[in-house]
Amino acid sequence: MHLVSRMPILLQRPRHSITVVGIERTRKGKRRLLTFDPAYRPPSMMLKPVSEVTSSGYTARRVLWRYRKAEGSLERFDMFETLTV
């Protein structure tokens, strides 16, 4: 994991926005975007204390699955605007 001090990328399309906060590479070499998408509610376990989540057997993989977007998942949209701050 590499931490950087850059702003997230804001992708805007009509009536919807997605905030890209990171990118990860799988062991097989595929890339996934880590995003915050207001279309998805956070999993209930994200609202619990960390000690409660880890003791119940949830892993980061299970908690973060809604925040990961596969390489081709944004191809279904015609276009995005990139917003800068």
- Cβ contacts of 83 within 8 Å, gap of 6 or more: 10, 11, 12, 17
Q: Where are the beta strands (DSSP E) in 1-85?
A: 9-13, 16-25, 31-36, 68-70, 81-83
Question: At residue 57, does pLDDT exceed 70?
Answer: no
Binning pLDDT at 50, 70 and 90, where does residue 66 land? confident
Contacts of 85 (CB under 8 A, 6+ apart): 7, 10
Tokens standing for 70? 């596969």
pTM of the model: 0.68
- The residues spanned by each domain of the chain are 9-74
The mean pLDDT value of the chain amounts to: 80
